[in-house]
Chain A
Amino acid sequence: MLRSPLSLLGEHRWSAAAVVLCLGAALWILAALVTAGLQTRAAVEGWWELYTPAVYLEADVTETAMGALKTELEGWPQVRSVALEDREAAMTRLVEEIGAEEVEALGITTDLMPAVLLVEPVLWYPGEAETLSRLQALEVRPEVVTVDVPSPQAVAWVNRGRAVVLGPAVIALLLWIGALGGLAVFLRRLQESERRENHLLEVFGASAMALRRPTIWRGAVLGFCAGAVAGGLFLPWSLSLDTFVAGFAAEGAMSAVSSALISAALPVIGLSCGTLVGWAGARPRQVSEVPRMKGLLGWERE
């Protein structure tokens, strides 16, 4: 190249600025929705843990029967883990919750305490309702006293939470891909305006990589600038959102350090994506072909 690859960006500065702003906004929306989705997910998981299904077992059930039921539940694909809380553990928890004097006054002894299987379902597994009804059906077994499962409303909230996480994130991802497409078109336009120069450079022996390099550079610079714009928008937004989220769901709040790290990562993401688009879009396009003679140049003259 006779001049810096960035000089062409200077000549098309308004178009370049528009591309950077669109790309930056799309990246910011993507980052905002993904982090908001992750925060929502963390909050929903926090709430979900309050509703861990529990299977209460008869007082006279043997350890072998408890072990067999635990193993059976662990074999269900929808179940992440099963914890056995034996009578001693249940007694200890009761003492912690209501106090030893109260327990003694009520005449509750360890023998009267039920053993409990605490079931942790796989969250976000399709068909939580089905899992819960399967657990509920365990009540018919002789060794089971009762099964405590979350209410249908809780399950419905989990499903809504999932939609909140996935839906906008998918839309934002499509928006980002569209913005990258816009970048690719802009880079291609710039490259086509240099077709004559590329043709000459190729005729005199420039390598394919040397011809691609300016477009890769431009993609990297535009991607980095867009990432910087997105990072600049993301940090204040994230900090204000955290203050709001921490008010009602501590699990969902993100630390200021995490927000800063994500903001710092956005220019790197923009740089990487811009470089990739530049690399992919820098291929030559042959415009003519002489029949019966294979062209050796990628950058034919128009």
Chain B
Amino acid sequence: MIALVDVKIPAVESDTPLVESLSVKMEAGTWNEIIGPAGAGKTALFEILSLRRTPPKGKLVIAGRNISRLKKGGLAKLRREVGSCPQEITLLPERTVVENTILPLVVRGMGREGLKTAEETLGFLGLMHRRDTPVGCLSEQEQILVGLSMATVGSPKVILIDGVHERLESGSRGLVMSWLKKRSQKGSTVVLLGRKALNRRDDATLWRLKDGAVERTGEVDRC
């Protein structure tokens, strides 16, 4: 579950906030899409939700924990429940695909079963044939898939994707969407941030960021 109460999202280079007060609640196991034009504050919101930065104002609760009350150790523990894939994907280019994918599981202390889980993820996303290839040798599309596999491996409670799904080719995008759907059905809260809504699920929730305000629409736009 994710809850933001009266969260202010500041602009990077001006005093005018992108969103003055954002209050949303996303239940566990739900599919959520936050859309808006460039500069609407999606990436800033992603950085807040993925616990990379803290907002100047407001309350954020993730997986039942209020982050303003957490110390460094508590934040680190909470990050283990969050899988995130930013727009600028950070990978270890000299390490293989499977090494990159297993990294979040290593942090969570998973040993051999972690390898099996990582291979399952790679298999579903069509990367198994590239298992032992250094990530630096992959195409951009494949690198995005590795970033997404890192965000989703091991079914974290929250999965956050910041726009990279929109850069995927249609075939890969279909694979990723069905993989994310499986994660959602397993109980992960999926949050996609992008310019356009993608999902056609009836139970998906769409949040639209525009002109410094957020608006919830129960039905996702068709695109």
Contacts and interface: CB of A to CB of B under 8 A. Distances in A.
Contacts of B76: 202, 205-208
A220 to B, nearest CB: 22
Given A2-B99, A205-B80, A290 B12 contact: yes
Nearest to B95: A2
Contacts of B200: none
A208 B71 CA distance: 11
A1 B99 CA distance: 10
B90 A290 contact: no
Interface string B91-119: 11001000100111011100000000000
A295 B12 CA distance: 13
B208 interface: no
Contacts of B56: 292-294
B79 A293 contact: no
A204 interface: yes
B54 A296 contact: yes
A200 B92 contact: yes
Interface in A192-212: 196-197, 199-208, 210
Interface in A108-165: none
A122 B132 CA distance: 73
Given A204-B80, A293-B44, A301 B90 contact: yes
Name which of A202, A204, A206, A293 has the most chain B CB atoms within 10 A of its CB: A204
A296 B51 contact: yes
Nearest to B76: A207
A201 B79 CA distance: 10
Interface string A255-297: 0000000000000000000000000000000000011111111
A200 B88 CA distance: 12
Contacts of A291: 10, 12-13
B52 interface: yes
B90 A208 contact: no
Interface string B30-58: 00000000000000100110111111100
A207 B76 CA distance: 5
Contact of A208 (B55, B72, B95, B99): B72
B92 A196 contact: yes
A291 B81 CA distance: 27
B142 to A, nearest CB: 18
**Chain B interface residue count: which class?**
35 or more
A296 B53 contact: yes
A296 B84 contact: no
B90 to A, nearest CB: 6
B143 to A, nearest CB: 14
A204 B51 contact: no
B7 to A, nearest CB: 11
Contact of B54 (A204, A208, A294): A294
Contacts of A202: 76, 79
A258 B73 CA distance: 46
Contacts of A204: 79-80, 83, 103-104, 107-108, 150
A208 B11 CA distance: 29
A199 B107 contact: no
Contact of B106 (A2, A196, A290, A292): A2
A200 B103 contact: yes
Contacts of A290: 12, 47, 53
B134 to A, nearest CB: 13
A293 B73 contact: no
B90 A199 contact: yes
A207 B107 CA distance: 9
B28 interface: no
B78 interface: yes
B75 interface: yes
Nearest to A2: B99
Given A292-B56, A301-B90, 4 more contacts: A2-B106, A200-B103, A205-B108, A292-B12
Pairs A-B, 6 closest by C-beta atoms: A205-B80, A205-B79, A292-B10, A204-B104, A293-B53, A207-B76
